[in-house]
Structure 1
Amino acid sequence: MVAQDLDRLHTHDLELGTTEATQKHIPRNVVPPRRVSQRRLDFEHSRPRWLRECIAEATGVFMYVLPGIGAIATFTLNATSPIGASAYGSLLAIGFAFALGIAFAIITCAPTSGGHFNPAITICLCIWQGFPLKKVPRYILSQIFGGFIAALVLMGIYHQQIGEMKELLLAAGKPLVANGAPASILCSFPNPGQSMGYVFLTEFICDCFVGFIIWAAIDPANPFISPALAPLMIGMGYAVMAWSFGDVTLTMNMARDLGPRIVAAIFFGKEAFTYMNYSPIAILASIPATLVSSAFYEFVFRDSVSVIQSGHAVHEDGDEALARHITRTTTVEGFEDKH
């Protein structure tokens, strides 16, 4: 080690690491990182943008699905434990696992891809916010792939425990695909006797609620939420619905359901898609529901002038057109107030 390396820290400096995030909040300095080489810049420039976006979407879904289904696995596999399932997990723990997983996914992957992680969000952003139509199919496929990989990883981690549960159920003549069975670790299944109309209505309402929260959280004109707080608030929107209606049967995301459901079909049979004719609701309901809630926000709550003033949008005909609009609407409002 060179002597100058030993002396590079002054008493008021902080070493490189997570302390870099604190340099804007405390008066101490962080040791400057190594200079960026031209080789590094050339490498980063050569990476295909579309590939990075797809990988980010897949990684984001993986990061939130894995802890979520992991929490479900902990609860399900210990349901018959003498200690009791509550000692290992609960609906509360499952909700927090999904919520924090979503927040972590947004924090880590959204700077690259925009952080959709849900086909319904991708479709709605295309309709309302101008997200490029040509990117929609590859974003959706990447999201489904992320959920698929998360489910495969979970099956690998819990292979022994799931195998033991499978043997016990087969010996007892019980199904492997049902609510509370091994397949339900990966994707949702309704309770016996539940009406599919009732399940669809519950799913639709919960997805509308979550979609509305997301649209409010990503509105740059919303003064009550900062960009730093948005990931957690979006995650908590999912958690609140899981805590409230999780026992009814929810998925709230096509990618979260379809990818793991394919894995469930691989390991537990095609009944994963045919059980009580539920899978179309789980896979597709979030799309029309999010369209409804985002449309409601766009037509009732969106204030485009505030968005433009915040610097996040521009008038399509330029600043002069915006000035004419403001002058016209202000004059009309002032005239109405006087009369």
Structure 2
Amino acid sequence: MSLLLQDATSSIPREKRTLREKSMIAADDVDLSWPPSAPKVSCNADPSFNMTDTSHIERLHTYDLELGATEAVQKHISRQVVATKPVSQRKLDFEHSRPRWLREMAAEATGVFFYVYPGIAATATFILNEANPAFGSLFQVGWAFAFGIAFAIITCASTSGGHFNPAITICFAIWQGFPWKKVPYYIFAQIFGAFLAALLLMGQYHEQISAFSAASVASGKGLVYNGGPASILCTFPGATQNNLGYLFMNEWFVDSFIGIVIWACLDPANPFVSPAGAPFVIGLAYANMIWGYADISISTNLARDLGTRMVAAIFFGREAFTYKNYSWIAILVNVPATIFATAFYEMLMRDSLKKIGGGHAQHEDGEEGLHRHLTKTMSVMENGTTAVTKGKEGL
């Protein structure tokens, strides 16, 4: 047998022999007698020999697992994948039958809820545990509102557009062609979402707020003041903040700052903010203003303030609207300030030609109108390309 194997494989170079051929050669050294003799074990074996060392095993250099192992791995992976359930016609019919306006209102209310709920919860933790900073801080409140806004946009913006602020809804109607007939029920839904968030928080923190309210009344401070029970839900000026003009300007500049950031994030020609990053940038804009100006009373959102202020009035009395005559600033100033901010961006910073060039908009008169504009401002060559003319625009 040894001679036959040797003749069959002697002509094959050693490096090209297959594993099967090598095993055939090695078979000559196997004892084929029956019954097999017991293996001889030497007590003086080399102590350096490692039974787990497999470096002597030669493998085929195919960089693949053996077929059986590959199949086992593939079956293991496929068992972890859940097949997508087919969409039934019944489900499609149901989704088609839903009123569009109802879906949009639900999305706006849910988005404002997602924005307000974690923010006022962090505020409650901060105010109710003022003596123990481990339970809250202004830094925590800012992050709670920031992530709440990001989650609101991520969750609901694909359904309603993600306004979550009456001022933003009005600005969309002014600058972006949003239908004016939708503005009232968008605003109603936004206020309703904030109202629900405040109502739920009062239920969850009922015991703590009741105890805090009793202690506050016993100390003679009342229920409605900056840092008091009602301020968990909405904003009130500090004890020394009696100048309404000062409070008005604070709110105006803060809301204008946020409005410009929002409009820049929504500008499709802005290369620095991706759609995926916009929710977090907008949230951080709110957080920045909270960290910097919450101490001097800011509101930043009509729906957030009015919805929660109504709940404050239910639980803490009408003083929630009359305290220092401040409520109208918290509720209304956000709207003209945001209109001012978006007008500033539209008139001084917007590049509509870049927006058209990126395929995000088109000229109101179509290609003919765009060509007419380019002819007026640039020299249009015969081959369709354009070159900037040297004139006043190029100086």
Cα 1:14/1:148, change in 2 over 3 Å: farther
- Deviations 1:123-168, CA, capped at 9 Å, x for gaps: 0110011000000000000000000000000000000000011111
The counterpart of 2:353, out of the listed 291, 305, 317, is 305
Q: Are 1:336 and 2:391 matched, yes or no?
A: yes
In structure 1, how many angstroms separate the alpha carbons of the residues matched to 2:110 and 2:285? 21
The equivalent of 1:283 in structure 2 is 331
In structure 2, how many angstroms separate the alpha carbons of the residues matched to 1:190 and 1:196? 10
The counterpart of 2:289, out of the listed 241, 250, 259, is 241
The counterpart of 1:123, out of the listed 170, 173, 183, is 170
The counterpart of 2:321, out of the listed 259, 263, 273, is 273
The equivalent of 1:151 in structure 2 is 198
CA drift at 1:326: 1.8
CA drift at 1:327: 3.0
Cα 1:326/1:278, change in 2 over 3 Å: same
In structure 2, how many angstroms separate the alpha carbons of the residues matched to 1:207 and 1:70? 22
Cα 1:202/1:11, change in 2 over 3 Å: same
In structure 2, how many angstroms separate the alpha carbons of the residues matched to 1:32 and 1:317? 48
In structure 2, how many angstroms separate the alpha carbons of the residues matched to 1:235 and 1:79? 25
Q: Secondary structure at the match of 1:335?
A: coil
Q: Which of structures 1 and 2 has the larger relative contact order (alpha carbons within 8 angstroms, sep 6+)?
A: 1
The equivalent of 1:22 in structure 2 is none
In structure 2, how many angstroms separate the alpha carbons of the residues matched to 1:105 and 1:335? 48
In structure 1, how many angstroms separate the alpha carbons of the residues matched to 2:117 and 2:390? 58
The equivalent of 1:38 in structure 2 is 89
The equivalent of 1:24 in structure 2 is none
Q: How does 1:77-88 map to 2 (within 5 A)?
A: 77-80=128-131, 84=132, 86-88=133-135
In structure 1, how many angstroms separate the alpha carbons of the residues matched to 2:166 and 2:269? 24
Q: What is the number of residues matched between the two proteins?
A: 314
Higher helix share: 1
In structure 2, how many angstroms separate the alpha carbons of the residues matched to 1:198 and 1:154? 31
CA drift at 1:216: 0.0
CA drift at 1:335: 3.3
Percent of aligned pairs sharing the same letter:
60
- Deviations 1:82-135, CA, capped at 9 Å, x for gaps: xx2x21111110000000000000000000000000000000110011000000
In structure 2, how many angstroms separate the alpha carbons of the residues matched to 1:153 and 1:10? 48
The counterpart of 1:53, out of the listed 104, 114, 139, is 104
Q: How does 1:1-339 map to 2 (within 5 A)?
A: 10-12=75-77, 15=80, 31-80=82-131, 84=132, 86-194=133-241, 195-331=243-379, 333-336=388-391
- Deviations 1:182-229, CA, capped at 9 Å, x for gaps: 000000000012121111111100000000000000000001010000
Tell which structure's C-alpha radius of gyration is larger.
2
Q: Which amino acid aligns with 2:236?
A: F
Q: Which amino acid aligns with 1:89?
A: G
- Deviations 1:51-91, CA, capped at 9 Å, x for gaps: 000010000000010000000000000114xxx2x211111
Name whichever of 166-175 and 205-214 sits farther off: 166-175
In structure 2, how many angstroms separate the alpha carbons of the residues matched to 1:335 and 1:196? 52
In structure 1, how many angstroms separate the alpha carbons of the residues matched to 2:76 and 2:270? 42
Q: Which amino acid aligns with 1:41?
A: L
In structure 2, how many angstroms separate the alpha carbons of the residues matched to 1:107 and 1:240? 20
In structure 1, how many angstroms separate the alpha carbons of the residues matched to 2:347 and 2:254? 20
In structure 2, how many angstroms separate the alpha carbons of the residues matched to 1:14 and 1:329? 63
The normalised TM-score by structure 1 is: 0.89
Cα 1:275/1:315, change in 2 over 3 Å: same
Q: Which amino acid aligns with 2:170?
A: I
The normalised TM-score by structure 2 is: 0.77
Q: Which amino acid aligns with 1:123?
A: I
* Unaligned stretches of 5+ residues in structure 2: 1-71, 380-386
